[in-house]
Amino acid sequence: MVIKHILLVFLFLAFRLSSSAKVTYNVVTFGAKPDGRSDTKNAFLKAWNLSCASTSPAIIYVPTGRYLIAPALTFSGIECKSRGITFNIGGTLVAPSSYNAIGNAQVWIKFYKVNHVTISGGTLDAQGSSLWACKASGKACPKGSTTLGIYHSQNIVISKLRSQRATTASRSGNSNIWIEKVVCGPGHGISIGSLGWELEEPGVQNVTVKTTTFIGTQNGLRIKTWARNSNGFVKDVVFKDATMMKVKYPIIIDGNYCPDNENCPSQVSGVKINNVVYEDVHGTSAKHAWQSTCGFILLLCCRHCFGITSTYKLSVTSRRVRKMMRWRA
Ligand SMILES: *[C@@H]1O[C@H](CO)[C@@H](O)[C@H](O)[C@H]1NC(C)=O
Ligand SMILES: *[C@@H]1O[C@H](CO)[C@@H](O)[C@H](O)[C@H]1NC(C)=O
């Protein structure tokens, strides 16, 4: 009896030790050259695959330096056993400098069906300046892609990330997303969407975006839904403590997204948006060349929006501020 008892205790301890010990995979040891010129995609994938197969929590360590990721990279969680993967990033992930290289990939760095992933620190440099210059010149240019996209994922934390020339987007089927201390700009800001392309679509819920700074971005905090029939939804979102610096649309809910007016037979989105709180969003907005006034808050065709509230303070220091609310119900 006594021996059996001791054995059980021992096994229990051994299990505790192995499950709580973290394993670390340094991308450099998998061949990533931090010179900004050699493609490091495979080293990231090797580190991801091992982390994903690991039954203990894993850390993917990215030391300082510039890591070219070309043209695009998907971290898929479909086969993961892991109970937690943390990207501990000291360096910068760099997109190919030619915007045509990312080209048709809609997302540069994509997380798909992952659970319990944390991205901490680092910079994403999508090298978008040539594309922005192309767009500003009025020439025909590619649409550009999302820098960091999260799809069908749960329990995601993004913190202390700097996103340059970029958008960060959370797409359908995501829940329990925590984004904190992220600096964006220039680029498109942080976006939930585009949602509601499909009729049957999993919703997005429980998203917190906290302590963010947007510098010269086109949008700040955005929720975007396709002007199509859909049973999708967005609920329980908190945007808290955001600083806007010359942002064109600091707060925008676009319930009518339909670029080029194509593929939107129903003209307005069916996605239900419920319980979105803006708390202490402050700073300045900027004006488009074609605008006669500038706005801080833009709600476009928000037909199924409920419980959109602003608590605490929503302070605006732009000289000419209008709340632009266009409802089409
Ligand atoms: C990572 O795993 C995926 C899926 O199992 C596989 O297709 C890919 O070749 C692996 N990549 C590397 C670099 O090990
Ligand atoms: C919402 O997500 C956070 C993490 O982002 C989590 O801690 C919390 O438990 C979630 N809330 C619910 C109701 O699931």
Amino acid at 13: L
Ligand 2 atom, smallest distance to 176 CA: 2
The predicted model gives 143-160 an average pLDDT of 89
In a domain, 11, yes or no: no
Average pLDDT, integer, range 139-146:
75
Model confidence at 224: pLDDT above 70? yes
Q: Whose CA is nearest to atom 4 of ligand 1?
A: 49
The protein residue with its alpha carbon nearest to ligand 2, atom 10, reads: 176
Is 1 inside a domain boundary? Answer: no
pLDDT at 316 over 60: no
Lowest mean pLDDT among 20-24, 113-117, 188-192, 232-236: 20-24
**Within-domain flag for 14:** no
Residue 112 confidence class, pLDDT cut points 50, 70, 90: very high
Q: Which atom of ligand 1 is nearest to the CA of 43?
A: 13
Report DSSP state, residue 22: P
CATH number, domain with residue 265: 2.160.20.10
Find the Cα–Cα–Cα–Cα dihedral 82, 88, 92, 95, rounded to 10°. Answer: 10
Q: Are strands 249-257 and 295-300 parallel, antiparallel or unpaired?
A: parallel
Residue at 18 is within a domain: no
> For residue 134, what pLDDT is reported?
75
The answer as to whether 16 is a domain residue is no
Q: How far apart are CA 153 and CA 169, in angstroms?
A: 12
The predicted pLDDT at position 311 comes to 61
Whether 223 shows a pLDDT value over 60: the answer reads: yes
Cis amide linkage into residue 194, ω under 30° from 0: yes
Indicate whether residue 132 lines ligand 2 (CB < 6 A).
no
User: Does 103 fall in a domain?
Assistant: yes
Rounded CA-CA distance 145/173 in Å is: 20
Atom of ligand 2 nearest to the CA of 156: 5
Q: Are 102 and 127 in contact (CB under 8 A)?
A: no
**Per-residue pLDDT reduced to its tens digit, 157-204:** 999 999 876 667 777 788 999 999 999 988 889 999 889 889 999 999
Query: Residue 9: inside a domain, yes or no?
Result: no
For the stretch 93-104, pLDDT in tens is 999 887 776 666
Alpha helices by DSSP H, the chain: 2-20, 41-53, 99-102, 129-136
Tokens standing for residue 322: 């209008």
Q: What integer pLDDT is reported at residue 11 of this predicted model?
A: 44
Domain that holds residue 34: 25-327
Burial 32-63 (b: 16+ CB within 10 A, else e): bbbebeebbbebbbbbbbebbebebbbbbbbe
C-alpha 145/C-alpha 143 separation (Å) is 7
* CB 49 less than 6 A from any atom of ligand 1: yes
Q: Each residue of 61-92: pLDDT tens digit?
A: 999 999 999 999 999 999 999 889 999 999 99
With respect to residue 286, please indicate whether it lies within any of the assigned structural domains: yes
Write the CB contacts of 15 (distance below 8 Å, at least 6 apart in sequence). Answer: none
Number of domains, the chain: 1
pLDDT mean over 8-32: 69
Q: Which ligand is nearest to the CA of 238?
A: 2
